[in-house]
Amino acid sequence: MTRSRFRKRIEELLQQADIAVGGGRPWDLQVHEDALFGRLLSQGSLGLGEAYMDGWWDCEQLDGFFQRLLTARLDDAVRTVGMALSVIGVRLSNRQTVGRSRRVGRRHYDVGNDLYRRMLDSRMIYSCGYWNEAPDLEAAQQAKLDLVCRKLLLAPGQRLLDIGCGWGGLARFAAEHYGVEVVGVTISRKQAELARELCQGLPVEIRLQDYRELNERFDRVVSIGMFEHVGYKNYRTYMSVVDRCLAADGLFLLHTIAGNESAYTTDPWIERYIFPGGVLPSAAQIGQAIERLFMVEDWHSFGPDYDPTLMAWWRNFEAAWSELQGRYDERFRRMWRYYLLSCAGSFRARYNQVWQIVLSKTGSTRVYRAPR
C-alpha cells in the first residue's frame, strides 16, 4: 500500500469521528510527517502516541480529539498483530506479581515529587475529585476526601488501612478531621518518603509494602486509585487480603477507574509510558472477585468528574513548565500532555468510569445508608 493510500485510509477513519487531517477546527489533526499514516496503520495507538512524542503531528485540542476518536470507537478499527500478541501474553502470565508490581512505582510514581507537587492540589491527591458543588480542584479533592470518610462512617479511635496511600493525603485528612489511626501502604519509594514527612506528628504510619503482605486487623479499609494496578489475575487475591484484614463489622471503600467491558490489557501506549501492568476492572470482574466475601452496600458512579480533574492537572502542569523544564525535556512534556489530555477525552466520551463501592463482610447485620 502506498503512502497516499495510507493517508486515504486514515482520513476515512477519522471522518467517522468528525476529525479532519489539516482542518481548521481545534480538534483536527495537523500532520508534520507523511510517514505518520503508515505508522498508525501498523502500530495503532502505540504509534499514535509515540508519533506525537516525536513531533510528527499536533492538535490544538487533544482532549477534544480523543473524545471524538473514542466516541466513534476508532480504537477498535485499528488492531495490530502486536496488540493481539500482547493479549495472549497477558493470558499466559501474571504481570502483577509482587516483583513485577513495583515497576509502576519506579516508572510512574517515582518520576519526581517536584512534578506532582506542582500538578496536584495542596494535599497531593492523585485521583478523581468530586465536583458536585466544587468550584475548583482544591475544593473538589477536599470534597472527595470528606465523602470517603463519611461513607466509611469513620469515628475517633478507629484504625484505618489505606491501600495505595500515595503521598498520604487521605491519611492526613482522616487523622486530622476524624481522629482515626491510619496505616498507609505504597510501592513507591518517593511517595513513602514524602508521605512520612507530610504526616509527621499524626497517628499515621506509612509503609513501603505490597498489599499481599498485609495480615492484621483494621476497623476500616480504603483503597483509592490503586485497584487499577492489581491485574485481573489478582482481583480475588486482593479481595481476600482485604477480607482477612477487615473487622467483622467493618467497612471497605474501593475507589477505582473502571471500564465498560471486561479487559485483560490496557492501551499499549499507556502500558509502555505511563502505567506498566495496569488494567481497568469491569463491574463483572469486581462482582466475581467479591463473591462470598463481601456484600455491596453502595455503588456510586461519577466518572465525568475525572474530566475536569485531569484538565485542572494539565493546566497546573503547563503553568509550572518553566520551573520543571530543567529536569524534564520537551519529549517528556509532550508525553505528559498526551497522557493527561487523552485521558480527559476518554472520560468525556464515557469510555472510562469512576466508581466508589462500599462493601461490608458477608454475614454482617449492619444497616448502611450511604451519604452523598
Amino acid sitting at position 96? Q
Q: What pLDDT, in 10s, does the model give residues 147-199?
A: 999 999 999 999 999 999 999 999 999 999 999 999 999 999 999 999 999 99
pTM of the model: 0.92
Least Cα distance to 38 among 73, 70, 10, 76 occurs for 10
pLDDT band, residue 76 (cuts 50/70/90): confident
User: For 289-297, what is the mean pLDDT?
Assistant: 98
| Cα distance between residue 142 and residue 184, in whole Å | 19
Q: Domain spanning 97-361: which superfamily?
A: Vaccinia Virus protein VP39 (3.40.50.150)
CA 264, 112, 196: angle at the middle one, nearest 5?
95
pLDDT band, residue 92 (cuts 50/70/90): very low
Q: Extract the C-alpha cell encoding 30.
A: 495537523
The answer on pLDDT for 86 being more than 60 is no
CA distances from 142 to 131, 161, 214 (A): 10, 19, 28
| Cα distance between residue 229 and residue 233, in whole Å | 11
Q: Are 221 and 210 in contact (CB under 8 A)?
A: no
pLDDT cut 90: percent of the chain above it: 85
The answer on pLDDT for 81 being more than 50 is no
Q: What pLDDT, in 10s, does the model give residues 31-73?
A: 999 999 999 999 999 999 999 999 999 999 999 999 999 999 9
Least Cα distance to 25 among 86, 80, 75, 68 occurs for 68
Q: What pLDDT, in 10s, does the model give residues 223-275?
A: 999 999 999 999 999 999 999 999 999 999 999 999 999 998 889 999 999 99
- Note the pLDDT of residue 82: 45
Q: Is 343 a catalytic residue?
A: yes
- Note the pLDDT of residue 111: 85
The answer on pLDDT for 287 being more than 60 is yes
The answer on pLDDT for 88 being more than 50 is no
pLDDT band, residue 7 (cuts 50/70/90): very high
| Cα distance between residue 57 and residue 141, in whole Å | 34
pLDDT band, residue 4 (cuts 50/70/90): confident
The answer on pLDDT for 138 being more than 70 is yes
Q: Are 106 and 191 in contact (CB under 8 A)?
A: no
CA distances from 233 to 21, 97, 162, 285, 287 (A): 41, 9, 22, 10, 14
- Counted residue by residue, the chain has a size of 372
- Note the pLDDT of residue 52: 98
pLDDT cut 70: percent of the chain above it: 91
- Annotated active-site residue in 128, 165, 199, 343: 343
pLDDT band, residue 91 (cuts 50/70/90): very low
Every domain of the chain and the residues it spans: 3-79, 97-361
If you average pLDDT over every residue of the chain, what do you get? 92
CA distances from 136 to 141, 143, 187, 205 (A): 9, 11, 30, 30
Q: Residue 227: what are its φ and ψ, rounded to 5°?
A: -60, -25
| Cα distance between residue 191 and residue 264, in whole Å | 27
- Please provide the DSSP assignment of 111-169 as one string: S-HHHHHHHS-TT---S----SS-SSHHHHHHHHHHHHHHHTT--TT-EEEEET-TTSH
What is the pairing mode between strands 218-224 and 159-163? parallel
